[in-house]
Every structure is written in structure tokens, then in C-alpha cells.
């Protein structure tokens, strides 16, 4: 599919995933998930009611297990509190448009841990915006923004879907052009290039991981590197275990394992850096709406317990795959 029609021993990531650093060769406890998921948001058909979603994309789980969802076709950000039967609009929801209080095909969201504001990739309006207590401001303008990430040093990273690059800004210094940290050498499949980058992740070392959609691979760019390395996929488009097909949302754990949504293969995979192939952790049972199936999944997140949440795009729902301890 083409998406636009237009995170000492304990390490915690902004999206809620926490791992004990493996210093004793003990296998981490987060290893397997139930294959039948529970629907925790949406799942009531495509629509704009508060118990519905319309093509969910970005997803963010906070420490209270509240689910922040980019509701793409409804041009809004909604939050579903833990065990809620419906969501609450916290940004947008005022129709599609370019007013400061409107969104236009938003694609990703993150939370600034300092002031708890919501930062949104407002793709259709070519700008990154911030919402704080219903007050809005434009942070970055004239950018074909798609994915967002923040690191612990206060930098904001944004993927540019058209310029095929990822740029970094220091919080509060958005009037600058930012610094290119991945890509920026035109579209292509060389190691210094990207082709329609979407979602991104930044680790504690400020290495940037990029879902390189049209190259069907995940790239890792170390801080200051002039080119990246392929850490998942990169063997052409396909459904073999060494391949991806339109990779999307991705998270990297403290052991360097990459969890990536393999959109066109309707599955979530885990890749260990340096390995030749990945493994399927959920999905992979064909496109469908059963509890063990996904339909063009697009993003993922973890809560503090290790439960896996997947934005099930074409089923207009968020699926929770519970951790098996």
C-alpha cells in the first residue's frame, strides 16, 4: 500500500517499553505474545463516532495504558483511556483544514515528556504542530512530515516523506532548518539514500532507525554517520523471513532487537541486528478481521508490562496482544 493518498540497568523508552539490560546472558522475559488479540480501541466499523476510528496510524501508550491514536481520515487525535469503550478527542476533530485548530491527514504523534504537550505530524498541511491544553502552535512549517521521534536530550526528529530524509531539531529552536541525520541524498536504494521514509525511532545513543518504505527495509543511521546500515529486510519486496513489504511503525528494544510492522504482509516481525532474517511474532495469518489476523497493520507500541498494541489500519481498530510470561 502507499501510505499517503496523500526509546546502569533499566532503560525506559518514551512509548512505554522498558527492558532490563541483559548483562548475565539471561533471556529477556518479553519473548512471546498471545496470537489472538483483544480489541482495545475502535473495532466498531469505519466512522467518526467516538467509539469508532477511520484508518488509525500513529499510536502511543503512556504509563497509565492510555492509548493515543492518530485517527487519519477523521483528522483528529483521540485518546482511549484504559478499558474505555470510546475515545476522547484531544486534538483536531474540527474538520479537515489548515486552520490552527484543524488537522489534515495527521500521520504520527508523540508526547513531550517535559510539558506533556502533544506533537503531531500534520502531513496534509506540511507542518509539525504542538497542542497543549487546546492551545496550538506550529513548530515546523513547509515540511512533508510523516514520522516523529524524540530523544532524551530534547531533540525532535522528523522524517520527510518527499525529500527522503530525517532531520533533527533542538527543542525550542524550530526556526532553524534542522540537521539532516539520515538520507538527504535523493530517493534511491544506496546506503546513503532513502525512498519514502515513514516512521522513525531513536535510541539512547541517538542512532536513528528509519522505515524505508519503498526500499522494503529498516535502516540504522548512527549519530554523525554519512550512510546507514540495513538492519531488517533489504532483500526486495516479499514475504519470506528475510524480506519486508512496505515496513511501517517500528521500535527497538535495549537488546537491539527491531520490532517492525510488515504492512503488506499483515504481520509484525522481530529482527536481531546482524541476523539474516527475522521472525513473525504476531499476525502472518493472511489479511482479515479475525482475532489472529491483521489487515494492513501500520504501527505498534508496548505498555510497561510488555503487552503489544498494533494499529490495525484497514480494520479500524487497535489490537492488544498480551504478553506470555
Q: Could you read off the pLDDT of 61-99 as tens digits, one per residue? A: 988 999 999 999 999 999 999 999 999 999 999 999 999
Nearest Cα to Cα of residue 110 among 159, 45, 59, 179 = 59
Class of domain 34-324: mainly beta
C-alpha cell at 303: 505498555
pLDDT tens digits for range 217-233: 999 999 999 999 999 99
Contact 116, 109 (CB under 8 A): no
Q: What are phi and psi of 114, to 5 degrees?
A: -75, -50
Residue 3 has pLDDT above 80, yes or no: no
CA distances for 143 relative to 125, 174, 188, 233, angstroms: 9, 12, 20, 27
Cα separation of 95 and 139, whole Å? 21
- Check the CA dihedral 16-20-25-26 and report its sign: negative
Residue 8 has pLDDT above 80, yes or no: no
Residue with cell 492518530: 70
Three-class SS state of 56: strand
What pLDDT is attached to residue 25? 38
Band (307; pLDDT cuts 50, 70, 90):
very high
What pLDDT is attached to residue 175? 83
Comparing 119-123, 137-141, 273-277, which segment has the lowest mean pLDDT?
Answer: 273-277
Nearest Cα to Cα of residue 100 among 72, 128, 78 = 128
Contact 299, 311 (CB under 8 A): yes
User: Can you give 159-172 as a three-state secondary structure string?
Assistant: EECCCCEEEEEECC
Residue 9 has pLDDT above 80, yes or no: no
Cα separation of 223 and 112, whole Å? 22
CA distances for 140 relative to 47, 69, 122, 209, 315, angstroms: 30, 21, 10, 21, 32
- Tell me the average pLDDT of the chain: 90
Burial class of 89 by CB neighbour count within 10 A (0 to 12, 13 to 18, 19+): middle
Residues with Cβ within 8 Å of 46's Cβ and at least 6 positions away in sequence, in order, are 52, 53, 54, 55, 73, 316
Amino acid at each position: 500500500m502507499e501510505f499517503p493518498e496523500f526509546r546502569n540497568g533499566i532503560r525506559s523508552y518514551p512509548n512505554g517499553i522498558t527492558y532490563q539490560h541483559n548483562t548475565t546472558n539471561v533471556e529477556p522475559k518479553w519473548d512471546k505474545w498471545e496470537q489472538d488479540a483483544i480489541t482495545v480501541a475502535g473495532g466498531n466499523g469505519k466512522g467518526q463516532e467516538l467509539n469508532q476510528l477511520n484508518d488509525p496510524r500513529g499510536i502511543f501508550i503512556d504509563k497509565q495504558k492510555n492509548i493515543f491514536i492518530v485517527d487519519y481520515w477523521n483528522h483528529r487525535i483521540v485518546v482511549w483511556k484504559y478499558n474505555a469503550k470510546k475515545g476522547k478527542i484531544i486534538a483536531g476533530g474540527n474538520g479537515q483544514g489548515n486552520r490552527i485548530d484543524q488537522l489534515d491527514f495527521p500521520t504520527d504523534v508523540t508526547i513531550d515528556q517535559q510539558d506533556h504537550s502533544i506533537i503531531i505530524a500534520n502531513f496534509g498541511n506540511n507542518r509539525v504542530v504542538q497542542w497543549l491544553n487546546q492551545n496550538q502552535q506550529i513548530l515546523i512549517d513547509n515540511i512533508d512530515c510523516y514520522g516523529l521521534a524524540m530523544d532524551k536530550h530534547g531533540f525532535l526528529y522528523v522524517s520527510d516523506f518527499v525529500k527522503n530524509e530525517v532531520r533533527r531539531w533542538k527543542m525550542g529552536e524550530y526556526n532553524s532548518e534542522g540537521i539532516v541525520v539520515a538520507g538527504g541524498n535523493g530517493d534511491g536504494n544506496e546506503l546513503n539514500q532513502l525512498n519514502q521514509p515513514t516512521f522513525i525511532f531513536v535510541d539512547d545513543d541517538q542512532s536513528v532507525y528509519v522505515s524505508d518504505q519503498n526500499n522494503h527495509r529498516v535502516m540504522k543511521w548512527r549519530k554523525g554517520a554519512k550512510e546507514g546500515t540495513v538492519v531488517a529486510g533489504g532483500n526486495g519486496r516479499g514475504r519470506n523471513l528475510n524480506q519486508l513489504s512496505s515496513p511501517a511503525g517500528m521500535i527497538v528494544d535495549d537488546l537491539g532487537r527491531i520490532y517492525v510492522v510488515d504492512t503488506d504482509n499483515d504481520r509484525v516481525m522481530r529482527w536481531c541486528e546482524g541476523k539474516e532474517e527475522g521472525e513473525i511474532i504476531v499476525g502472518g495469518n493472511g489479511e482479515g478481521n479475525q482475532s489472529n489476523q491483521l489487515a494492513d497493520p501500520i504501527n505498534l507500541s508496548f505498555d510497561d508490562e510488555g503487552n503489544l498494541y498494533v494499529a490495525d489500519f484497514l480494520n479500524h481498530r487497535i489490537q492488544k496482544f498480551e504478553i506470555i510470561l
